[in-house]
Amino acid sequence: MVESGSSHRLCPARSHELLCEYHDGVACLTLNRPERRNALSGELVDRLSETLRQLEGDLSIRAIIIAGAGGCAFSAGTDLKDHRRSDPKYRAAQRNKAWALNEILWQFSKPTVAVIHGWCLGGGLELAISCDFRIAASDAIFGFPELGLGAFPGAGAPVILPRLIGMTAAKDLLYTGRHFGAEEAAALGLVSAVTSPDAALPHARQFAQRFTLSSPLAIAALKRLFSEAEYRSPKEAGALSDMLHRRIAASEDSEEGLRARAEKRPPVFRGC
């Protein structure tokens, strides 16, 4: 386990297609296929899923950043070169893997931040909207081109996008497949901030660092409530909120927070 507060250190992503480093409680995962605009190959999806599962259980990591290498793209989507060489059974398996990856992010207990430079299309944009937050460089270009290719956005966009920007705006983007820029993405509420290209990753690091100061148990509980409350009646959602509140109030982190305030020092949360 890497201690929170340590200097930069690589983590074992076990693939040249995914780079990973820790710094002060934040893990930065970099899609490393710049020659293919960081298109999502089967290997890259596998490694990203595996690494996220490992980081889920690492108490020293409090937030995750996902970025793309090379500066020209976050991810241009599914690697169509792989798909053209494969049979329908293989393509179906790859779609299932992409859905499973994004499902990991939907259920992930720690805050996740996508940092978007250049192209962010199709499956790459589905990956980005599966994160909690998105920071966009001013050169970011977004779009869902699937329908123009006779395909279907099958890794979560029709489910997640309307919750982020509303049904009418989601239909516009999905039906037309049109490209749109960072400023429109911000106006739609799709991204949290727009920065200069050079400032996007530093901004995301500072943004993610704020989450390391909060109780990881409380963040995980809120993420669960946000995820599940939408599907429950107000009474059921209130009962879930009350259960989570009581669980956090009985935790060691809650005691530490109160003790730290009384002692006028920063709390040291341990996630228990």
Whether residue 109 is found in the same domain as residue 242 = no
Whether residue 68 is found in the same domain as residue 152 = yes
Residues classed as catalytic: 126, 146
Whether residue 231 is found in the same domain as residue 156 = no
Whether residue 163 is found in the same domain as residue 245 = no
d(CA 272, CA 261): 18
β-strand partners of 113: 65, 133
pTM of the full structure: 0.88
Whether residue 144 is found in the same domain as residue 82 = yes
Domains of the chain: total:
2
Query: Cα(first)–Cα(last) distance of the chain, in Å?
Result: 16
Helix H or strand E segment including 115: strand 112-116
Containing domain of residue 186, as a range? Answer: 9-213
Whether residue 183 is found in the same domain as residue 198 = yes
Whether residue 31 is found in the same domain as residue 165 = yes
- Which has the closest alpha carbon to 28: 68, 57, 1? 68
Whether residue 233 is found in the same domain as residue 130 = no
- Give, for all 272 residues of the chain, the pLDDT tens digit: 333 344 455 555 556 899 999 999 999 999 999 999 999 999 999 999 999 999 999 989 999 999 999 989 999 988 877 665 567 777 788 888 888 999 999 999 999 999 999 999 999 999 999 999 999 999 999 999 988 888 888 888 999 999 999 999 999 999 999 999 999 999 999 999 999 999 999 999 999 999 998 899 999 999 999 988 888 888 998 998 999 999 889 888 888 888 888 888 888 888 77
d(CA 144, CA 173): 7
Domain membership flag for residue 42: yes
Domain membership flag for residue 267: no
Whether residue 155 is found in the same domain as residue 253 = no
